[in-house]
Amino acid sequence: MKSILIFLLSANAWGGELSEPLHSEDSQYHYYIGHSDTKSHLSEALEEAYLNAVKEAVRHQYGFEQKIVESFFSELDVVQTQESYHWQSGSISLRGIEPVWEKVDDNEGVFKVTRKIRYSKLEIKKELRRLSFKKTSLNKYGNSGANLGTIEIRSFPKAADITLTHMESQASIYGVGDALIHAKLGMHELIVRAEGHQTYRKKILVSGRKTLHTITLKRSMGEVELSIFPKDATIILDGRIAKNNSILELPVVEAHKIHLEHPDYESQSLEFHLWIKERRKLAVTLTPKQGRLTVYSKPKGGEVYVDGEYLGLSPLKNYPISAGVHEVKVKNSALADAKEVIEIKPNRSRVTELINLKKKKPKREIAREENSEKLSWGNFVYTPLIEQKGKSLMYPLSFQLNFFLYKNLSLGYDYRYQEYIKEDQDLIEIDSLSSLNLLIYPYRSKRLSLGIGAEHNTKKWTVEDRLIIEPTKTIEKQTIGSRVNLQIRLGEHSGLHLDHRVIDLEDPKSSTSSVGIYFEF
C-alpha cells in the first residue's frame, strides 16, 4: 500500500481544476471526474474518488454500474499500481482507462480528493462492438399500463430463453433476449437459460422505474484428457497450444478442433464435442512417416528381401519403407543367405552394415543342425529284459521317465518291480528298485544318443507269508550308482534303448544291463 500512496501522491504534480464538469471529451478520449470528501484515511479517499470516476464512466457508456463496480473495487489496489489500467471485470473490459490528474486537501482530518480519468474512445468502440451494445431492436413482452414496471434484459449469449415469474401471483412471462418486459410491480424470479450455459436464477424487484439487467451466462464445461503419441507432439486445441497428458476444461456443445503435428509423423486434425460434466479421454496415435533403407552386400548383386518381399538387387539405396522393425535378408544362389533384423525410425534413413555372405554348408552338416533343432524334450522307456549276475530276468513292471532340462542334460526316474513265489515254503519274495538319475549326453542327435551319469537308488526286499499275509522280513538299502545308456532311433518317435548300471558303486557285482524300447514326447 505504501507504494500505492507514493504513486498516487506524486500525481498531484499533474494539477487540475475542481470546477471541471463530471464528463467532457475531445477527439480521442472521454474524461470523467470523481470526488471523495468523507474519508479520514488518505488511501480510502483516493480509492473512493477513483471508484466514483470509474462509476461515472461505466454509467455513461454502458448504462449500468453495480456488477462491474463491485468486482472492480475489490481489485482496486492492484489496479492502482499499474501505469496502464488494462484490467477486465465480469463482462466489461476497462482497458483504456488512465489517470489524468488528482487534487488532495486535508481539512481537519478529513481528506477531500478529486480525481480525473480518461477513457479511450477507440477502446470504448471495441468493447461496444464486442458486447454488441450497438442500438439493437429489443423483443417486447407484456403490455404497458398502470401498476406495471419495465425492465430491460440484455443477455450474453443473445437469444437466451427468459422466464420472469411474479412471486405472489405466480404469473409468468416468457421471452427471448434481448428483451423489454412490462411486468407487475413487486418481486419476481428471473430465469435465463441458453444451450451450453449454466442457468441463471435471481430474485429481482420490478418498480415504477425502468431498470436494466445485463446477464452473462457462464459456460457449462466438460473435461478432456489428452493422451497423444508421440509424447512430444505439438497440440493445437481451438487455436491454442495445449500440453500433452493434461486435463483441460472446455465449453460444451460447440465443436472443438484439435490439430496434431510432429516432424517425424503425419499431421492429423479432428473435431469433437463435449457434453455437460462429461470427462472424455482423447487418445490419438499419429502415423509415423516413412523412413529410407540402404542395403549393401558382399559380394554385390545379392537379392534383397524385406519381410519376405523382394525389393531388388544390392546395393539397394534410399528405398522408402515404413517405420518399425523389419527383417532384411540377402540371398545368393551360390552362397548362404544372410539376414539382419533392423529398426527403421520415422522420417530417418538407415544404412545396414556390409553383409559378408559365407559359403553354403554341406548337406550333411545342414541335416545335422536341422536334426539338433528338432530333438524331443523327453521320453518314456520300457525295459522288461534285464541281465543281472549272469542271469536274464523278466520284469513285467519296469520303466523309465526322462526329461531333458537342457539340450544335453536330463533328469530321470526308474522303477522296477518283481515277485517270486516259493511254493514249498508258502512265501512271496518282492524285489523293487526305484532310482533318480542325472545324465549328461556327450553326443545327442536325432538318430543316436549316448548318456553318462549318476543315480540314487532305493532297493527293497520283502518276504511275505502267504498264509498269515503279514510281512515277515523287509530289507531296504539306499545306494549311489552310475549309469550309461544308448538310444538308437528306429521309428519316427521311437527306438531301441540299451543301458548298463552299477547300482552300488561299493559293490561291483551289483551291475545290471537292460534292453527295452523308448517313445519320445
Q: Which three cell numbers stand for residue 70?
A: 463491485
CATH of domain 139-216: 2.60.40.2190
Q: Residue 383's pLDDT is what?
A: 84
b/e sequence 394-413, b meaning 16+ C-beta within 10 Å: ebeebbbebebeeeeebebe
* Domains 221-285 and 291-356 in one fold: yes
pTM of the complete model beyond 0.85 = no
Q: What is the DSSP letter of 145?
A: -
3-state SS assignment for residue 384: strand
Structural domain boundaries of the chain?
2-131, 139-216, 221-285, 291-356, 378-520
- Classify domain 221-285 at the CATH topology level: Immunoglobulin-like (2.60.40)
Complete DSSP assignment for 65-86: -HHHHHHHHHTHHHHHT-SSB-
Q: Residue 192's pLDDT is what?
A: 94
Q: Answer whether CATH 2.60.40.1120 is correct for domain 291-356.
A: yes
Side chain identity at residue 37, one-letter code: D
Q: Answer whether CATH 2.20.25.10 is correct for domain 378-520.
A: no
The structural architecture, per CATH, of the domain 2-131 is 2-Layer Sandwich (3.30)
* ∠ Cα 33 36 42 (to 5°): 120
**Which range, of 152-156, 215-219, 257-261, 460-464, averages the lowest pLDDT?**
460-464
pLDDT in tens, 307-352: 999 988 888 899 999 999 999 998 887 788 888 899 999 999 988 8
3-state SS assignment for residue 56: helix
> Taking all residues of the chain, what is their mean pLDDT, rounded to a whole number?
79
pLDDT in tens, 117-129: 999 988 888 877 6
CB 252, CB 278: distance < 8 Å: yes
Q: Is the pLDDT of residue 74 over 80?
A: no
Q: Which residue has the higher pLDDT, 271 or 4?
A: 271
